[in-house]
Amino acid sequence: APVLAVVGRPNVGKSTLVNRLIGRRQAVVEDIPGVTRDRIAYDAQWTGRRFTVVDTGGWEPDAKDRAARIAAQAEIATQTADAILFVVDGRVGATDVDEAAVKMLRRSGKPVLLVANKADDDRVEADLAGLWGLGLGEPFPVSALHGRNSGDLLDKILSILPEPPAIIEEAPRGPRRVALVGRPNVGKSSLLNKLSKEDRALVDDVAGTTVDPVDSLVEIDGEIWQLVDTAGLRRRVGQASGTEYYASLRTSAAIEAAEVVIVLFEASEVISEQDQRLLSMVTEAGRALVMAFNKWDLVDDDRRYYLEKEVERELKRIPWAQRVNISALTGRAVDKLAPAMRIALNSWEQRIPTGQLNQFITALSQANPHPVRSGKQPKILFATQAGVCPPKFVLFTSGNLDAGYVRYVERRLREDFGFPGSPIQVTVKARK
Ligand code: GDP
């Protein structure tokens, strides 16, 4: 969602205004200048459009004096936001401090809207002419406290933010797309057969969906799933099915086409390099993942013990994946696949509210700040979730973060929010 930064001197009513914009009744306001609020970014929605509001009052630049502090806010805002609300106290008018900040905002070329807050009545509103001198055009009078003009302000904000993305109404969705991958002879065709037989009939047609001719619709656990590239799986081993190169192209196309991928392993053999490559393909493509250890019927107690150890060792880079021990031959635990896929897809589509995400970031930064590097300590200013499928997070920071610290943030995100079965992506946008 596009980002709107709210900038202004302490005590002009930024937090009250932010609360008004995000539609929260209970204003959380610290009326003490310079007090750091712990939550700084929020989701807002107006007439079906979504945006993120960032309250720069929550930042604590190192600067001591007010002028430097607001300058730092303005600078950060110009580098991280798509548009800026510059808030002044309509009863006080513009100050020198305001003028310095405005200069910086205007240089950025970003759209800036001048808001005269505390315009509680017509009398204050009539007195705003002096604010034209800031060079930001007509001041927009509001009373954040009473809500006066706040609807009009929201309309105006939408007009300066970049075009949607509008809220995408959930389209009636066809069946979820599943790919079944694994090295030759691991049991893909057998599993497909198992899934297509018994109570799980192959389905020819689902109203309103078109299915690629190489795909199949299969009912698993009361739900219709689209198995992608089943034509490739039906071809029996030993028949001329092309080169290994061709097979791997086919596999990566199937992964791309899928939403969730079941990677089959030989439970009675070691995890091979080829298995690892498949896993990397899935995580790099950003697909939800279920690991299935097939031929479990051949696994004896000794092997079971070693397998545990091996899985721990070999698969420790993806501890979040769902794991199921199955037998395509006997049908053991095959019914566990659908629930595992559902969990993985839920995580894949999970969205963390911006307020909650930033509470998490603030707590994390306080408990375990980034190490100081050559005299500087980069800080995470705020975070947003830029997308789903899989969840993608963007950290807006005051400087580059160590790769290790980014991994730490990712690990902590998982600890707090889970995402079982789905990769997540964390990227950093550092202020220059
Ligand atoms: P694909 O190449 O991955 O499609 O593997 P296939 O489905 O053709 O299976 C290869 C061989 O493994 C066949 O002989 C299957 O009967 C056998 N197989 C598949 N799944 C199992 C299983 O769960 N247990 C046992 N014991 N054998 C299996």
Q: Which domains does the chain have, with CATH numbers?
A: 3-160 (3.40.50.300), 176-348 (3.40.50.300), 354-430 (3.30.300.20)
Nearest CA to ligand 1 atom 9: 187
Distance 327 CA to ligand 1 centre (A): 9
Q: Which residue has the tokens 């089943």?
A: 230
Q: Which residues contact 268 (CB under 8 A, 6 or more apart)?
A: 295, 298, 299, 303
The tokens of 320 are what?
């979040």
Q: Is 2 helix (H, G, I), strand (E, B) or coil?
A: coil
pLDDT in single tens digits along all 432 residues of the chain = 889 999 888 888 888 898 888 886 544 444 444 444 544 788 888 887 888 888 876 555 555 666 777 777 778 788 888 999 999 998 888 888 888 888 888 888 899 999 999 988 888 777 888 888 888 889 999 998 888 888 899 999 999 998 765 555 555 578 999 999 999 899 998 998 888 764 444 555 555 555 666 788 888 888 889 999 877 776 554 444 556 677 778 888 999 999 999 999 999 888 999 999 999 999 999 999 999 999 999 998 888 888 888 888 888 889 899 899 999 999 999 999 999 999 999 999 999 988 889 989 989 998 999 999 888 889 898 899 999 999 999 999 988 999 999 999 999 999 999 999 999 999 999 876
Name the phi and psi angles at 129, rounded to 5. Answer: -55, -35
The pLDDT of residue 342: 95
Nearest CA to ligand 1 atom 27: 295
Closest to 185 in 3D by CA, of 238, 254, 230:
238
Q: Is 345:261 a contact under the CB 8 Å cutoff?
A: no
β-pair type (288-294, 322-325)? parallel
Question: Is 119 labelled a binding residue?
Answer: yes
The reply to whether ligand 1 has any atom less than 6 angstroms from the CB of 13 is: no
Q: Is 147:173 a contact under the CB 8 Å cutoff?
A: no
Name the phi and psi angles at 297, rounded to 5. Answer: -65, -20
Radius of gyration of the CA atoms of the chain, in A: 27
The reply to whether ligand 1 has any atom less than 6 angstroms from the CB of 186 is: yes
| ipTM of this complex prediction, to 2 decimal places | 0.94
Atom of ligand 1 nearest to the CA of 193: 7
Q: Which of 180, 189, 190 to mutate to test the pocket of ligand 1 (most atoms within 8 A of CB)?
A: 190
Q: What is the dihedral of CA 287, 291, 294, 298, to 10 degrees?
A: 160
Rounded distance between C-alpha atoms, residue 88 and residue 92, angstroms: 8
The reply to whether ligand 1 has any atom less than 6 angstroms from the CB of 188 is: yes
Distance 303 CA to ligand 1 centre (A): 19
Distance 175 CA to ligand 1 centre (A): 27
Distance 313 CA to ligand 1 centre (A): 25
The pLDDT of residue 234: 66
The reply to whether ligand 1 has any atom less than 6 angstroms from the CB of 230 is: no
Predicted structure pTM score = 0.76
Q: Is 145:314 a contact under the CB 8 Å cutoff?
A: no
Closest to 263 in 3D by CA, of 294, 232, 223:
294
Q: Which helix (H) or strand (E) holds 206?
A: none
Atom of ligand 1 nearest to the CA of 327: 23
The reply to whether ligand 1 has any atom less than 6 angstroms from the CB of 347 is: no
Q: Which helix (H) or strand (E) holds 236?
A: none
Q: Which of 180, 183, 185, 274 to mutate to test the pocket of ligand 1 (most atoms within 8 A of CB)?
A: 185
Question: Is 346 labelled a binding residue?
Answer: no
Distance 185 CA to ligand 1 centre (A): 6
Question: Is 238 labelled a binding residue?
Answer: no
Distance 305 CA to ligand 1 centre (A): 23
Distance 264 CA to ligand 1 centre (A): 11
Question: Is 231 labelled a binding residue?
Answer: yes
DSSP state of 130: G
Closest to 426 in 3D by CA, of 326, 79, 414, 18:
414
DSSP state of 127: T
Query: Which DSSP string do the residues of 290-352 spell out, in sequence order?
Result: EEEEE-GGG--HHHHHHHHHHHHHHTTT-TTSEEEE--TTT-TTGGGHHHHHHHHHHHHT---
The reply to whether ligand 1 has any atom less than 6 angstroms from the CB of 182 is: yes
The reply to whether ligand 1 has any atom less than 6 angstroms from the CB of 295 is: yes
